[in-house]
């Protein structure tokens, strides 16, 4: 390898990047953050857990916990509506429904169940 060329490259690069240093301000910030992490690791597990939960809450409640809470509330509302007496499915025929009659036919010892529509139009809604 040509030593002269090597020196030339080194000189140019040290001119170009030699002065690139991390600033005092950033160094302090990095050290503070690292010291905080170490200080936290010195805490008992339960305290660390509480801090993590608090941080998780502060970092995510707007982006993930709110939609989760809204979805949960919607699910609860659906369940409440489903069990409300006014929304329970009814057995009585509604107006315009075809009514079937269940018939049991017994012949030569065999039993068959048939459903026969009784061509009856419900004029009045039985619920009313």
Binding footprint of other proteins on the chain (CB under 8 A): 5, 8-27, 29-31, 33-35, 37-39, 41-42
Q: 2 vs 91, which CB is nearer to other proteins?
A: 2
Q: Which helix or strand (DSSP H or E) is residue 46 part of? A: helix 45-60
- CB of 55: closest distance to other proteins in angstroms? 14
Compute the radius of gyration of the chain from its Cα atoms: 39
In the numeric block, the tokens 């009814």 are attached to 90
Q: Are 96 and 120 in contact (CB under 8 A)?
A: no
In the numeric block, the tokens 């409640």 are attached to 61
Q: 6 vs 97, which CB is nearer to other proteins?
A: 6
Q: 43 vs 126, which CB is nearer to other proteins?
A: 43
Q: Using alpha carbons only, give the angle 47, 50, 56 rounded to the nearest 5 degrees.
A: 140
Provide the terminal-to-terminal Cα distance of the chain, rounded to the nearest Å: 102
- CB of 76: closest distance to other proteins in angstroms? 37
- CB of 13: closest distance to other proteins in angstroms? 5
Take residue 27 and report the two structure tokens written for it.
């160094």
- CB of 91: closest distance to other proteins in angstroms? 59
């Amino acid at each position: 390898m040509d030593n002269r060329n090597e020196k030339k490259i080194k000189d140019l690069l040290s001119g170009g990047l030699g002065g690139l240093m991390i600033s005092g301000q950033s160094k302090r910030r990095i050290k503070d953050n690292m010291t905080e992490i170490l200080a936290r690791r010195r805490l008992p597990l339960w305290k660390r857990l509480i801090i993590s939960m608090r941080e998780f809450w502060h970092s995510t409640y707007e982006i993930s916990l709110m939609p989760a809470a809204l979805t949960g509330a919607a699910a609860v509302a659906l369940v409440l509506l489903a069990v409300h007496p006014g929304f329970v499915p009814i057995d009585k025929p509604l107006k315009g429904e075809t009514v079937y009659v269940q018939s049991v036919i017994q012949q030569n010892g065999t039993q068959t169940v048939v459903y026969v529509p009784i061509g009856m139009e419900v004029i009045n809604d039985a619920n009313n």
